[in-house]
């Protein structure tokens, strides 16, 4: 099958399993977004900005490691579940996480994608309301290939980045916003 005939979901899989580094994944994300509807462009930028934040915090796993690919997979697939899931339990779990977030501004919106505030809301809520304790929620997440290991990895990396920035008096959300503005896909 030629690469031009790959479905978008197949391309994600190829990019994530055959990449030798994050730069290739960024290129794959950009290529996929260029073939997708214009409305998906901002979603790609969110994942890229989060990865840039983690890199700036020096908590991004080594570029060629399986953990780096796992983190990229976790972010992309969690964003897909957040924005596209039709599973009522999963949608309700995300809605509860966002509603109870500690955001100092407006409540995060799932249609906005996986921003730093949305990711913070999800990892915070998951620590007290683990989706693994609710099989119907996990079923909806697993429709997007999101499992407990993905949630654990995102939580660990997010918290490391947040704590590293806090220790130097910096705010992860401000850093995310700056990275987001610098991304090619607004």
Read off the pLDDT of residues 23-63 as tens digits, 9 standing for 90 and up: 444 444 444 444 344 445 567 888 999 999 999 999 999 98
Q: 163-173: buried (b, 16+ CB within 10 Å) or exposed (e) per residue?
A: ebbeeeeeebb
Instruction: Give pLDDT, residue 42.
Output: 65
Instruction: Give pLDDT, residue 97.
Output: 92
pLDDT at 182 > cutoff 80 = yes
Neighbours of 89 (CB within 10 A): 17
Lookup result for tokens 């976790």: 74
Task: Report the distance separating Cα 27 and Cα 33, nearest Å.
Answer: 10
Length of the chain as a residue count: 186
CB-based burial label for 40 (10 Å; 0-12, 13-18, 19+):
middle
pLDDT at 3 > cutoff 60 = no
Task: Report the distance separating Cα 1 and Cα 14, nearest Å.
Answer: 12
Could you give the percent of the chain with pLDDT greater than 90?
A: 62
Higher-pLDDT residue of 31, 96: 96
Which range has the worst mean pLDDT, 14-18, 67-71, 147-151?
Answer: 14-18
Instruction: Give pLDDT, residue 43.
Output: 78
Higher-pLDDT residue of 142, 36: 142
C-alpha count within 13 angstroms, C-beta hemisphere, residue 126: 26
Stretch 142-161: mean pLDDT, rounded? 97
pLDDT at 110 > cutoff 80 = no
The model's pTM is 0.77
């Amino acid at each position: 099958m030629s690469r031009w005939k790959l479905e978008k979901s197949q391309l994600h899989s190829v990019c994530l399993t055959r990449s030798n580094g994050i730069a290739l994944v960024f290129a794959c994300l950009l290529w996929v977004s260029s073939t997708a509807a214009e409305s998906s462009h901002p979603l790609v930028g969110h994942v890229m900005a989060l990865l840039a934040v983690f890199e700036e915090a020096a908590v991004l796993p080594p570029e060629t490691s399986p953990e780096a690919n796992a983190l990229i997979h976790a972010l992309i697939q969690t964003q897909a579940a957040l924005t596209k899931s039709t599973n009522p339990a999963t949608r309700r779990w995300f809605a509860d996480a966002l509603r109870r977030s500690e955001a100092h501004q407006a409540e995060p919106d799932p249609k906005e994608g996986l921003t730093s505030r949305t990711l913070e809301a999800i990892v915070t809520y998951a620590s007290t309301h683990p989706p693994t304790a609710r099989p119907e929620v996990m079923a909806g997440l697993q429709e997007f290939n999101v499992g407990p290991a993905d949630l654990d990895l995102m939580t660990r990396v997010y918290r490391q980045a947040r704590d590293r920035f806090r220790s130097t008096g910096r705010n992860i959300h401000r850093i995310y916003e700056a990275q987001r503005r610098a991304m090619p896909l607004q």
